[in-house]
A and B are shown apart, each in its own frame.
Chain A
Amino acid sequence: MTASHQRAGGLTATGTPPLLDVNDLRVEFRVLDGIVKAVDGVSFSIEPGETLGVVGESGCGKSVTALSIMRLLDTPPAAIAEDSEIWFNGRNLLALSGDEMRSIRGNDIAMIFQEPMTSLNPVFTVGDQIAETVQRHRKQSRKAAWERAVESLNQVGISNPERRAKQYPHELSGGMRQRVMIAMALSCDPKLLIADEPTTALDVTIQAQILELIRKLQDESGAALLLITHDLGVVAETVHDVIVMYAGRVVETGTVDEVLLAPKHPYTEGLIASIPSKELRGRKLNVIKGTVPNPFNMPKGCNFSPRCPYRFGPCAEHDPRVEDARPPDVACWLYTPAPGYPVPPRTRPQPSAERRDLARALSTTEPVDRPQL
């Protein structure tokens, strides 16, 4: 079931505007050695209450995209293009003043980060840090804010929340700290939760717990979720829709089933094929040949073409992205007829038995009952 979305503040098929609508986001970084186009024309949208995953390798621009939504980038080195738009609840976030943006952060949009160890201030108690957000946005008394903080800690499954709230970050384990971050993010009931690699820095055993927690809370609160990760397994478990990014551009969008079971873009295909699994035991691991392009020297045309095993005529010349594309969408000349080029005969890869097994391997989630660490 694919919902169809449109761009730029338009209405969806359901008639309500999307909660978040990123339109042609372009972010450049001016550094000593030149200009890096970290995000090069990214567009996507999220409905209220929906979940979207952003997948890609390190350096593909997914974190920068998230930070742009929050406007947390330092604007001397970073520069967001003037005609980029980020619509949230009917307002263009990129056009808001500093004060207006500050009242949205932590309040309507909340973000959790990758490193729970260093993302919490070591000299304040965790309760203080949560209560601080509540006080800032809800204008409540210290006592009321503190109570809300304890309540949030309880919601994220921390036992003994009154005692824990008085503890300092260094007294908690990694998994607990990430729960605190989540509690902090959800304490003001945001409409959108952005999670930037929330489990990457955690033990594998804790990862599943945290992801499950995020999903559960998101479900219960009705908030939308934007989950950023490089791990396809995480995506399979947690979100419904996904976009795949490569070198600053979106290459494929669709639901998790579509993209993981039947990937269209050669890059996505390569990503999924390279996941090791016990089904493929005994065989050489698949890789995507080559390396990511030099950020100062992006290839012309499709920026994946130098590594693409299917590349042909138009790939090195023309950017395959289409205006006003609708998901499920793929930025590839194999699927969009390139003007002036014959469409190559190519059999669309069908979900093979292999692939189905793979997909199943990716999406295994049995909720595990483990003691909190």
Chain B
Amino acid sequence: MADPRTIETETVILTGDAAYGAADYEVALESLSQWQLAWRRYKKHKLALFGTGVLFMMIFLAVFGPIIVPFDDLDIRPVSQPGGEPPAATDLFGTDNLGRSVLALTINGARLSILIGLATALIAVTIGILVGALAGYFGGKADSILMRIVDLVLSIPFLFIVLVAARVFGSGDIVVLILIFGLLSWPGLARLVRAVFLSLREQEFVLAARAVGVGNLRIAFRHMLPNAIGPIVVSATLIVANAIILEAFVSFLGFGIKSTDISWGNALAKSQGTLINGNWWWPFFPGMAIALTVLSINFIGDGLRDALDPRSRV
């Protein structure tokens, strides 16, 4: 039977593949590494860039500020009113009730506040990853017990337990404070990590690694953890922001770091009493510094969330 598809023509019969090169089918992308793609996405986020800028400024302030505008404990000067001097040419941000320059207080406070924020995040992230990975990877009993603990810690009002712990164990020690904050901030992150691990556990690449004989720990940390980097980083930024605000409130109440050290919280510690007399500048400037820093961190967190989301498009 003659093949009805025979044609006599001058042109060569081409099959589909040869007629069009691969380039026509795929939108060609230069091969970029994951991090480069993420950076590209991050750059598109105007607010995140703004936040990064402001944060760098704050960190610069924290590191170099005390050198440029040193805070001298002995700079206690007499004041004309209980709430300190209002902003003037001599003291741009005014003074507190002891005559100390609020500008100096704000600049010097950056160091401890930011440090506490970062250190808290470090502790929380470490514990959170460990707990979350163990719970998510091994599942079963370990998971149940660990998650019960997580639930318990998450159900108790955070501020309540933080303040009580600060009061009981505190006494002004920065390290103790950081430990308290860190030990109470990890559950949320642990939950996230656990969720990622649970979903990855059944995927082929884990089974493949196991089949080749890779040990459990190695699988967990080398192969699965990188997938959780996105949520972890975003969570970490939130923890830093939270810790800064928390330190501020705890120190404001007087249960935080000792009064000879300066943090933003400390800086406005006794300011409420004389607020009625109108000394707005005393709590305003340190608080503004806190708000700006936290705002930048939140913007950065948002930018990171979009940048590191594997489902975003370039």
Contacts and interface: CB of A to CB of B under 8 A. Distances in A.
A–B proximity contact (CB within 8 A): yes
B27 A290 contact: no
A347 B8 contact: no
B11 A313 contact: yes
Interface residues of A, number: 26
B25 A347 contact: no
Contacts of A33: 27
Nearest to A292: B25
- Tell me the interface secondary structure of chain B in the complex: loop
A124 interface: no
A310 B9 CA distance: 10
B19 A290 contact: yes
B7 A289 contact: no
A297 B20 CA distance: 11
B11 A290 contact: no
Nearest to A310: B7
B17 interface: yes
A203 B207 CA distance: 32
B8 A294 contact: no
A300 B85 CA distance: 79
A119 B170 CA distance: 58
Interface string B17-38: 1011000111100000000000
B4 A290 contact: no
Contact of A289 (B17, B24, B27): B17
Interface in A320-373: 344-350, 352
A344 B19 contact: no
B16 interface: yes
- Tell me the interface secondary structure of chain A in the complex: loop
A346 B7 CA distance: 6
Contacts of A311: 11, 13-14
A306 B16 contact: yes
A291 interface: yes
Interface in A279-326: 288-291, 293-294, 296-297, 299, 306-307, 309-313
Interface in A159-183: none
A234 to B, nearest CB: 27
B313 A32 contact: yes
A352 B4 CA distance: 11
B9 A344 contact: yes
Contact of B25 (A32, A288, A291, A350): A291
A312 B11 contact: yes
A333 to B, nearest CB: 12
B17 A290 contact: yes
B203 interface: no
Contacts of B16: 288-291, 306-307
B5 interface: yes
Contacts of B211: none
A164 B4 CA distance: 56
B9 A313 contact: yes
Contacts of A32: 313
B260 interface: no
A344 B313 contact: no
Interface in B226-256: none
Contact of B7 (A290, A307, A344): A344
Given A33-B27, A290-B15, A290-B16, A347 B4 contact: yes
Nearest to B13: A309
- Residue among B16, B20, B25, B313 with most chain A CB within 10 A: B16
Given A294-B24, A294-B25, A347-B2, A306 B7 contact: no
A344 B8 contact: yes
Contacts of A312: 7, 9, 11
Nearest to B2: A347
B18 to A, nearest CB: 9
A309 B5 contact: yes
A288 B13 CA distance: 14
Given A294-B25, A296-B27, A347-B4, A289 B15 contact: yes
A350 B2 CA distance: 12
B37 to A, nearest CB: 15
B5 A310 contact: yes
State the 8 A-B residue pairs at the shortest beta-carbon distance, nearest first: A290-B16, A289-B16, A307-B16, A306-B19, A349-B4, A312-B9, A289-B15, A306-B20
Interface of B: 1-2, 4-5, 7-9, 11, 13-17, 19-20, 24-27, 313
21 contacts: A33-B27, A290-B17, A294-B24, A294-B25, A306-B14, A306-B20, A307-B19, A309-B5, A309-B13, A310-B5, A311-B11, A311-B13, A312-B7, A312-B9, A312-B11, A313-B9, A344-B7, A344-B8, A345-B8, A348-B4, A349-B4
Given A290-B16, A290-B17, A352-B1, 4 more contacts: A294-B25, A346-B7, A347-B4, A348-B4
